Structures are given as C-alpha cells and as structure tokens.
Amino acid sequence: MLQVTTALIVANVAMFLVQMVAPGVMLPLALWPVGHAPAAVDAGFAPWQLVTYGFLHGGLAHLAFNMFGLYMFGNAVEQVLGGRRYLTYYLVCIVSAAVTHLIFAGFSGAYYPVLGASGGVFGLLLAYAYYFPNNRLMLLFLPVPIPARVFVVVYGVLELYLGVTGTQAGVAHFAHLGGLIGGFALLTYWRRTRRR
C-alpha cells in the first residue's frame, strides 16, 4: 500500500476510534446544513466541516466499506498521480462532495449532518476509471465484470436516481455525485494545463 493511501486509512480508522471513545466529537466536525442545525445541538455549519466530515463514519460497516474502496482504488490512483497530487485530488473530491450536498440539501430538505469518506472514494473511483478504463469491476448487485468506465457511468446514474427519488433516506447521494464531479473537473483541468 502506498504512503498517502495508508495515511488516509489510518486517519479514518483513528477518527472512528476517537468517535467511539468521545462521540461528542462528531458534532462540530460533521457537515451540518447551513442554518439548519437542531436547536438542541450546539453546532452548526463551519468552514472546516467541508473537510473534517470526510474522516468521520456512522458505524463500522460504513467505515469498512469506505476504507475498502479507498484501498482498492487509491493505491492505483496514487501510483499514477504521485503522493502530493493524489492527496490534493482526494481532498478536492471531499470538498466538492460537501459543497454539492449543501446545495442540494436546500432543495431536497435533507437537513441532517453528513459524515463519511464516500465523496472522496467516488472521486477515486472516477480517477481509476479515467486511468484504467478497461479494467473490469463488479457491482455488488450485478455480479458481472464490466469495464471501469462503464461501471462509473452505471454507478453515477444509480446515485442520481437514488438522490432524485429520495430512496435510501439518510444517504447523501448528491455528495457521492459531487465527488465524481469534483474529480472530473480537476482531472480535466490537469489534462488541459499539461497540454499547454
């Protein structure tokens, strides 16, 4: 496993252990909708939450699934981008996922705190498909290997459908899409500046 990927996994696991010992740490670090924190909670939106929410998780299964994705796609993407650019890419995906969620929360009425590394993992999935488009992946509910580029499109469309229909309440589907969007924007920017 490469250095930045290892460090990100360690940071996420460490924060999960801190959450278990001191659950109150989630309140100021989770991503709260602007102006919609419950009155009983002494927390609300703060700028650092655009990053810190990505290192918190809502349970062991949530953590395990995200860390598995980080491990699966992060190693390959880190090898291509190098440590510094890879970390920049991951954090941009986390922030773009947060911003996208905040925008759509106002339309959907999804006024709940968000946590998890999923936005960053979705960005890594996009980068993996960008650099390794023909590598084969499998969706859990569709046990047929499909090329990574097709996998990303199918998963993105599924997330859009789930987000628009409000299926799986409590899951920040638009944050997942935001991770894809931020990753695509940054990869496109890097490609254009490299051509210049």
Tell me the pLDDT tens digit for each residue of 98-127: 999 998 887 766 667 889 999 999 999 999
Instruction: Identify the DSSP state of 134.
Output: T
**C-alpha distance from residue 71 to each of 2, 4, 38, 139, 140 (Å):** 9, 11, 35, 17, 17
Query: Cβ(57)–Cβ(117) under 8 Å?
Result: yes
Q: What is the C-alpha separation between 127 and 83, in angstroms, rounded?
A: 14
pLDDT at 42 over 80: no
Question: By three-state DSSP, how is residue 142 classified?
Answer: strand
Res. 140: pLDDT tops 80: no
Where is 147: in which H helix or E strand? strand 142-147
Position 75 pLDDT exceeds 60? yes
pLDDT for position 90: 98
Give the residue numbers spanning the domain of 74.
Answer: 3-195
pTM above 0.75, yes or no: yes
Q: What angle do CA 22, 172, 97 make, to 5 degrees?
A: 90
Q: What confidence score (pLDDT) does residue 131 get? A: 96
The number of domains in the chain is 1
For residue 61, what is the domain's CATH number?
1.20.1540.10
pLDDT band for position 41 (cuts 50, 70, 90): low
In this structure, of 33-37, 88-92, 116-120, 131-135, the range with the lowest mean pLDDT score is: 33-37
